[in-house]
Chains A and B, each alone.
Chain A
């Protein structure tokens, strides 16, 4: 599904990614962990097509398409979803207006029927239940005045509406209390399907108790320095990231 080869990227003069290799198959859950500043969020943004990042080397193929040739919206319509660490507030644009427009743009691209406001209202009710979100939120401005937790719920709501093939969730756990984390973790698991892959970017291992990864990749200074299965999360929980930093700085790996 997703094949990343030797990917390098920079923003401004700062080379953030320095050669990433990763392959993700349908149905798999991959987790990317690492200390702050290691390049985790950058990887998510580069895959989603943020125009501020410049790819300086490597290639990315998604279901046979050269992802790097597509704009952010083309990637989204091809099935890539990025759940933002800090979802943007867009006052004046109602959540329902935005979600329906996004749904219809994707439906149109995939040859499905568009939904009118009434149909969409029916469609969204089950999704709201999944993330335990009040339907009042649909009439409010997009993330306008939403708390951190409400914004994250809204991200997973958008994921459930857009039904992506690959969902990249960037720091879903930041700004969430334990209960909300559980609700959203379970919602994400409920959206797991054999043909859908997840790329979970996180600093803390806690979310992996609910979203159990098949693979964990540890990113340090723009490169993967460690790969493992879900057991690696326990090790990182116990030891933190300092030892990875120490080993890499002393050049033993």
Chain B
């Protein structure tokens, strides 16, 4: 018999103050959780991801002042100083946040304090009547998060940076946090969001991100998941792209023992564009699972998806990429590519492209490759004097570069390329 989600994720014992206009969503989501069984590998969507290590824990949502303003997260990107919100264990950390560089026309604040015209978007994509269990758990339990609203035609001069740090201080067992991000771009607005997850110790992060792009708006969204190696991380991303808007989403996943990324992106207007890129770099016994859905609900839109995996030791990568072209969504152009690099005999990847095409005038393609470092490529580099290690590293950098180069912050690109080479070191080697 399957355990219920309610028992696994109990209400926090601490009192969490929340605005009353969330109440309706929270209540609906709570009801959903009560009747939802926990996913098991019997279900097609969870076939390769065994969550029993998660189910055997007892989780605690902490909401105390004690964990705030502890040692700051080390060496955050200098480019985003003055445009950063930092949350510790899901709670806004004012001492470590600084948005002094932002001008008018841009709302960048805690969700609990944002304006009514922003909060009305909340829960419209990650709707509680869906069967997205982890999204519903977030909706029912989250205490705060980040809200970003860029007014018509505006564009913040610096990237907006949201950091969710977990430090699991003062709890027995595992702590749990429910990060939440709401980003709304009005027509012709532009923004660049860097969403970053980090932490230390054992904890579970269950985040929900909702993205609304207005007509002609443009968003670059870089997501860096560098959680502690003992952590669990679940992310639900829901995005809605209006006419002629453009969305570039790049996810870099390095951390967490068990990771599940579930982006679902819907074209709501014609002539919109999506680039969905991901690089997963795992080793030890990490499991990283990306289940994506790109929904071409209207005609004349273009999507390009590139997912890359570098898998070492006994790690396990999973990719399920669903692309739906709805009836009537003519002149859709959809391309999907997934590439896996297995560094050891024990490394494993399960990959499944899933194209469902219900329109006839479309251009859709997908390609999936899985391989090891190429012996002839290694020999070529070695024949020029590079030792085996340098040759391997150069090939890894080459493999990862086209995803990493999508990241807009030069310091992040630089650090990641370094990390690809020195996987045993932290992303921030000087800290």
A contact residues vs B (CB 8 Å cutoff): 48-52, 71-73, 75-77, 81-82, 84, 87-88, 90-93, 97-98, 101-102, 105-106, 109, 141-142, 158, 162
Verify A90–B379 contact, CB threshold 8 A: no
Verify B382–A72 contact, CB threshold 8 A: yes
Q: Beta-carbon contacts of B380-402 to A below 8 Å, as 1s and 0s?
A: 11111111101100110111111
Verify B383–A76 contact, CB threshold 8 A: yes
B360: A residues at CB distance < 8 A: none
Q: Which residue of A lies closest to B394 (CB)?
A: A93
* Cβ-neighbour of A73 out of B375, B388, B394, B400 (below 8 A): B388
Verify A158–B379 contact, CB threshold 8 A: no
Q: Which residue of B lies closest to A91 (CB)?
A: B398
Verify B376–A101 contact, CB threshold 8 A: no
A77: B residues at CB distance < 8 A: 385
Verify B380–A87 contact, CB threshold 8 A: yes
Q: How far is the CA of A93 from the CA of B390 in the complex (A)?
A: 12
Verify A92–B390 contact, CB threshold 8 A: no
Q: How far is the CA of A228 from the CA of B19 in the complex (A)?
A: 93
Q: How far is the CA of A76 from the CA of B391 in the complex (A)?
A: 13
Verify A71–B377 contact, CB threshold 8 A: no
Q: How far is the CA of A158 from the CA of B383 in the complex (A)?
A: 11
Verify B379–A51 contact, CB threshold 8 A: yes
B377, B384, B394, B399, most chain A CB atoms within 10 A = B384
Known: A76-B382, A102-B381. 17 other contacts (CB 8 A): A52-B379, A72-B379, A72-B382, A72-B383, A73-B385, A73-B387, A84-B380, A88-B380, A90-B380, A90-B381, A90-B394, A91-B402, A92-B400, A92-B402, A93-B395, A101-B390, A142-B398
Verify A48–B383 contact, CB threshold 8 A: yes
Verify A101–B386 contact, CB threshold 8 A: yes
Smallest CB separation, B375 vs chain A (Å): 7
Q: How far is the CA of A87 from the CA of B399 in the complex (A)?
A: 18
Q: Which residue of B lies closest to A87 (CB)?
A: B380
Q: How far is the CA of A71 from the CA of B388 in the complex (A)?
A: 9
Q: How far is the CA of A72 from the CA of B395 in the complex (A)?
A: 17
B381, B383, B387, B388, most chain A CB atoms within 10 A = B383
Q: How far is the CA of A115 from the CA of B25 in the complex (A)?
A: 61
* Size class of the contact patch on chain B: 20 to 34
Smallest CB separation, A28 vs chain B (Å): 22
B388: A residues at CB distance < 8 A: 71, 73
B397: A residues at CB distance < 8 A: 92-93
Smallest CB separation, B308 vs chain A (Å): 10
- Given A73-B387, A88-B376, also A98-B400 (CB < 8 A): no
Q: How far is the CA of A84 from the CA of B376 in the complex (A)?
A: 11
Q: How far is the CA of A76 from the CA of B384 in the complex (A)?
A: 6
Smallest CB separation, A113 vs chain B (Å): 16
* Cβ-neighbour of A82 out of B375, B381, B383, B400 (below 8 A): B383
Q: Which residue of B lies closest to A168 (CB)?
A: B383
Verify B390–A105 contact, CB threshold 8 A: yes
Q: How far is the CA of A49 from the CA of B378 in the complex (A)?
A: 12
* Cβ-neighbour of B398 out of A75, A81, A92, A102 (below 8 A): A92
Verify A49–B383 contact, CB threshold 8 A: yes
B400: A residues at CB distance < 8 A: 92
Q: How far is the CA of A81 from the CA of B391 in the complex (A)?
A: 16
Verify A102–B379 contact, CB threshold 8 A: no
B376: A residues at CB distance < 8 A: 88
A105: B residues at CB distance < 8 A: 384-387, 390
Verify A162–B375 contact, CB threshold 8 A: no
Smallest CB separation, A99 vs chain B (Å): 8
Q: How far is the CA of A109 from the CA of B390 in the complex (A)?
A: 14
Q: Which residue of A lies closest to B403 (CB)?
A: A92
Q: Beta-carbon contacts of B234-262 to A below 8 Å, as 1s and 0s?
A: 00000000000000000000000000000
Verify B384–A88 contact, CB threshold 8 A: no
Q: How far is the CA of A122 from the CA of B401 in the complex (A)?
A: 26
* Cβ-neighbour of A90 out of B382, B383, B398, B402 (below 8 A): B398
Q: How far is the CA of A98 from the CA of B385 in the complex (A)?
A: 11
A50: B residues at CB distance < 8 A: 379
Q: Beta-carbon contacts of B331-374 to A below 8 Å, as 1s and 0s?
A: 00000000000000000000000000000000000000000001
Q: How far is the CA of A75 from the CA of B383 in the complex (A)?
A: 8
A92: B residues at CB distance < 8 A: 397-402
B390: A residues at CB distance < 8 A: 101, 105
Q: List 14 A-B contacts (CB under 8 A).
A: A48-B379, A49-B383, A51-B379, A71-B387, A72-B379, A73-B388, A76-B384, A87-B380, A90-B381, A90-B394, A92-B397, A93-B398, A101-B394, A102-B381
Verify B385–A102 contact, CB threshold 8 A: yes
Smallest CB separation, A138 vs chain B (Å): 15
The list of the 5 closest CB pairs from A to B, nearest first, reads A92-B398, A92-B401, A93-B398, A76-B385, A72-B382
Q: How far is the CA of A102 from the CA of B398 in the complex (A)?
A: 15
Verify B395–A102 contact, CB threshold 8 A: no
A102: B residues at CB distance < 8 A: 381, 384-386
Smallest CB separation, B143 vs chain A (Å): 42
Q: Which residue of A lies closest to B374 (CB)?
A: A88
B398: A residues at CB distance < 8 A: 90-93, 141-142
